[in-house]
Amino acid sequence: MKKLLVILCVIMANPSALAEEQSFVSTRGLSMELANQLVMAAARHCTKQGYQVSVAVTDRSGKLQAFIKNPLAGSHTIDVAILKAATSASFQTATIDMMKGFERLRDAPGVLLIGGGLPIRVGGHMYGAIGVSGAPAKKRTGDVDHACGQKGIDAIKEALEFAQ
């Protein structure tokens, strides 16, 4: 009780000891150049394996920032890649990790719980997300798409780390 009284006295004597909320928030985003490098790196990785994919990059709010579609990729891959990226950005989680345990969200608008969406998180900062669609699954749905997306992130990671 005595300890609590001392703490209260310190706070009352020094009101700045209470954390004040800032009037603004700071976020980081990818430049247009880096976002385009990211989609190309992911698409190239999948193409080298013989897969025709679409790749989308969104900002942290899930809005499209960059996109590429292999001319031979199915038209459905366009919307699927964008939805995977938007879902990953919204939840700041890889969509492959959301396939189990998030079933209640399966019918939520703008949410796609299939592997291939990954958050772009480097150095503790969330930049957005990438979504890849079109590669066939090896072990589980979206695992190859996920791997291609990760290769894309790996390709720009150093640029983001040095920008810190």
Q: What's the per-residue H, E or C state across 41-89?
A: HHHHHHHHCCCCCEEEEEECCCCEEEEEECCCCCCHHHHHHHHHHHHHH
Describe the chain by its helix, strand, coil percentages, rounded to 5.
Answer: 45, 15, 40
Per residue in 56-97, pLDDT tens? Answer: 999 999 999 999 999 999 999 999 999 999 999 999 999 999
CATH superfamily of 29-162: Haem-degrading domain (3.30.450.150)
Per residue in 131-151, pLDDT tens? Answer: 999 999 898 888 999 999 999
Backbone φ, ψ for residue 97 (5° rounding): -80, -10
What does the alpha-carbon distance between residue 4 and residue 6 come to, in Å, rounded to a whole number? 5
Residue 87: Cβ within 10 Å count: 27
Sketch the domain layout of the chain as residue ranges. Answer: 29-162
The whole-model pTM stands at: 0.84
What does the alpha-carbon distance between residue 55 and residue 60 come to, in Å, rounded to a whole number? 16
